[in-house]
């Protein structure tokens, strides 16, 4: 049985009220657990906000779905939250989907 890693040490250095922790190299295991069998699904829906995080996620997912040969089964969805959103967000989300030639659906609250 492997020896447990030592807990992170405090460096004693503060930046803007945030204290950095020193973690010994190799103390964190970034192994990824196996995910779902993506080929067992009929269709895939990806919610995108138009922001940089959803753009990055969409890029990774589109590449994976392309590798699996199921990119034509992917639909992106953007929820238009109206005046609370940044100007141009609806168009940007649509452009992200168009970049990968994905079907895109815009949903919004009614009533």
98 pLDDT more than 90 = yes
Residues in Cβ contact with 29 at an 8 Å cutoff, skipping those fewer than 6 apart: none
For the chain, domains (ranges, CATH) are 38-108 (3.40.50.620)
Tally of helices (H runs) and strands (E runs) in the chain: 2, 5
Mean pLDDT of 82-109: 91
**pLDDT, mean over the chain:** 81
Tell me the per-residue pLDDT of 27-72, one tens digit each, with 9 for 90 and over: 666 566 677 888 899 999 999 999 999 999 999 999 999 999 999 9
Lowest mean pLDDT among 6-10, 35-39, 44-48, 86-90: 6-10
Report residue 100's pLDDT band, with 50, 70 and 90 as the boundaries: very high
């Amino acid at each position: 049985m492997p020896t447990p890693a030592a807990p992170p040490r405090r460096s004693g250095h503060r930046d803007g009220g945030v204290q950095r922790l020193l973690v010994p190299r190799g103390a964190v295991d970034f192994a990824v657990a196996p995910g779902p069998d993506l080929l067992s699904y009929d269709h895939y829906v990806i919610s995108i906000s138009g922001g940089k995080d959803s753009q990055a996620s969409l890029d990774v997912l589109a590449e994976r779905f392309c590798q699996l040969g199921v990119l034509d089964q992917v639909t992106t969805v953007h929820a238009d939250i109206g005046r609370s959103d940044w100007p141009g967000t609806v168009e940007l989300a649509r452009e992200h989907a168009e970049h990968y030639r994905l079907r895109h659906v815009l949903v919004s609250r009614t009533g």
